Amino acid sequence: MCFLNFNFARLSFFVVGLLGLTVAGCGGLPDAPAEAPASVPGSTKYIIGPHDSLQIFVWRNPELSTTVPVRPDGLISVPLIEDLQAAGKTPTELARDVEKVLAKYVQSPIVTIIVTGFVGPFSQQVRVVGEASQPQAIPYRENMTILDLMIAVGGLTEFAAGNRAVIVRTSDGKQDSLRVRLDDLLKDGDVTANVAIIPGDVLIVPQSWF
């Protein structure tokens, strides 16, 4: 965990430095919208990602039921199946794939897969870098807002310039920078500053100059 935090700290320094001019002039940036787009890809169905934990239940075959992690290469290994692609699929899709393979050994297998440890694919994560108490990548949840994100990372450090924070958002191959007012939200309780988050967002919180 210390190693992870260290990496995020270095990433924060690099990203904030790279976008320093943009953040410094954030007064000219558009505000992040209060609501997410009408259609957020992947927000209605959970997509399995590396490091997720999966509970695989094979009806009437307890010896084949198990709990496995998704390897960094996106594959899983379960009884009678050495390697099977899991990342990028929904639990239901993966269950049908497991059934197809097990059908060679078991008559009419019925498989249920439950995700017990959520990480998700990179495209479905939200990242926080810079002056957050615990910079990290967080799995996206439907209807997530910037306040949810701040709770997850433990708020801001005492050196944060919350009202100069920006969301870097990629949509249709185009990257935009959107202004957010974290100080107004967290210190003043201004609920109008609580904006929507979508999968893939990167929140950059710069350091205060004073």
Q: Could you tell me the CATH number of the domain that includes residue 16?
A: 3.10.560.10
Calculated CA dihedral for residues 30, 31, 37, 41, nearest 10 degrees: 80
Are 198 and 126 contained in the same domain?
Answer: yes
Using the 3D structure, point to which of 117, 146, 162 is the last residue of a domain: 117
Q: In Å, how far are 2, 42, 64, 200 from 120, measured between CA atoms?
A: 22, 11, 25, 11
Residue 27 lies in a domain: yes
pLDDT at 6: 41
Cα separation of 186 and 156, whole Å? 9
pLDDT at 19: 47
Are 35 and 137 contained in the same domain?
Answer: yes
* Residue found by looking up tokens 């609501």 in the block: 35
* Beta partners for residue 132, in sequence order: 156
pLDDT at 186: 97
Are 58 and 111 contained in the same domain?
Answer: yes
More confident residue, 114 or 37: 114
Are 36 and 138 contained in the same domain?
Answer: yes
Percent of the chain with pLDDT over 90: 74
pLDDT at 36: 73
E strand segments, 46-190: 53-58, 66-69, 75-78, 81-85, 111-117, 125-130, 136-139, 166-171, 174-179
Are 111 and 161 contained in the same domain?
Answer: no
Are 129 and 76 contained in the same domain?
Answer: no
Are 197 and 126 contained in the same domain?
Answer: yes
Are 32 and 132 contained in the same domain?
Answer: yes
Are 134 and 37 contained in the same domain?
Answer: yes
Pairing of strands 136-139, 125-130: antiparallel
- Confidence check: pLDDT of 86 > 90: yes
Are 39 and 134 contained in the same domain?
Answer: yes
Are 68 and 103 contained in the same domain?
Answer: yes
Number of domains in the chain: 2
Strand, helix or coil for residue 164 = helix
Using the 3D structure, point to which of 71, 92, 117 is the last residue of a domain: 117
Confidence of residue 171 (pLDDT cuts 50, 70, 90): confident
Strand, helix or coil for residue 122 = helix
Full residue range of the structural domain in which residue 73 is found? 53-117
Q: How many residues would you count in the chain?
A: 210
More confident residue, 69 or 173: 69
For residue 189, give every residue at least 6 positions away whose Cβ sits within 8 Å of its Cβ, in sequence order, or none.
none
Across the range 167-185, mean pLDDT stands at: 94
pLDDT at 2: 41
25: phi > 0 → left, psi -120 to 50 → alpha, else beta; which?
alpha
Are 80 and 130 contained in the same domain?
Answer: no
pLDDT at 135: 97
- Confidence check: pLDDT of 207 > 70: yes
Confidence of residue 12 (pLDDT cuts 50, 70, 90): very low
More confident residue, 1 or 47: 47
Q: What is the mean pLDDT of the chain?
A: 87
Residue 48 lies in a domain: no
For residue 97, the domain's CATH number is 3.30.1950.10
Confidence of residue 39 (pLDDT cuts 50, 70, 90): low
- Confidence check: pLDDT of 48 > 70: yes
Across the range 166-174, mean pLDDT stands at: 91
